Copies of this chain bind each other. A is one copy, B any other.
């Protein structure tokens, strides 16, 4: 593959080239990895930045409907919108939250939109790297907004929050007056909570739920990167297109405030450093599986430790010394 040609096409906004480029960054093959790095380096010079919006919500909250309605609204405003999925569960199930293209049928037909399903069979660390690189490709391709979607499973929210400029939590109206078991840590990451399905029979429940979360958010410590009235909770109906324009205005005003106060750049810098350090850590650990010799030594020594023939710590010290000597 001619990488500089691919880079030019991506930078020109060619969606097919973008799809090929993402396939390249998803590959685990060593030659593909080298090409992916070359591509990323070539595209860095575009210096383009999209608004990266992380969106988390458990199945059933209407995430697809929301992304479709919200995406179509942005496209109607002349914005180019990319949607990427982070779905660690697909690593287990082989399924994919965005695999079913019919989920966002209208948005996927828009020339200004680009939808990319989550790849299957990748571990969370791999998903994070692939998504980070895919986001950078979408930015280089000139997209204005990149929506990074995740289901609320395990650590995927943290990964998405560390990739995003804004983190949005999408919830359904609660049955009673209790909060929906949303983990405190996830609430603390949210910039805006959207209570969806504020329509029909659920409208009153959605209003109540929104008020509950507004109250809960006020109890959280204020973060320096927020204006006084954030984080906030809003009620929306993706089905009836209610409140989406308002939600987008809130996202923009929060973004403006952060840009003016230097938080935007600072957050991007912190995230870039974080991912660099994480990538080095993952690279060091990859040494454990890279060579068949080391894999075999780990297995044999692990067996001996399991049989009680050596303590975990002295066995580990010996393996580490062998690895250092081998290099």
A→B interface (CB under 8 Å): 36-37, 40-41, 44, 47, 129, 132-133, 136, 268-270, 272-273, 275-281, 283-285, 287-288, 298, 301-303, 305-308, 310-317, 319-320, 323-324, 327
Contact = CB atoms under 8 A, between A and B. Distances in A.
Given A136-B311, A284-B284, A311-B136, A316 B276 contact: yes
Q: Is the interface of A mostly helix, strand, loop or mixed?
A: helix
Contacts of A320: 280, 283-284
Given A272-B308, A284-B320, A306-B269, A298 B277 contact: yes
26 contacts: A36-B313, A37-B313, A37-B317, A44-B311, A132-B313, A269-B307, A272-B305, A272-B306, A273-B302, A273-B303, A275-B305, A276-B301, A276-B305, A276-B313, A277-B298, A277-B302, A279-B312, A279-B315, A280-B298, A280-B316, A280-B320, A283-B320, A284-B284, A284-B285, A284-B320, A284-B323
Contacts of A313: 36-37, 40, 129, 132-133, 275-276, 279
Contacts of A277: 298, 302
Contact of A288 (B41, B270, B273, B281): B281
Contacts of A272: 305-306, 308, 312
Copies in the assembly, this chain: 2
A298 to B, nearest CB: 7
A314 B279 CA distance: 9
Contact of A312 (B276, B284, B307, B312): B276
Given A270-B306, A301-B276, A287 B284 contact: yes
B281 A312 contact: no
Contacts of A279: 312-313, 315-317
Given A279-B316, A313-B129, A313-B279, A273 B306 contact: yes
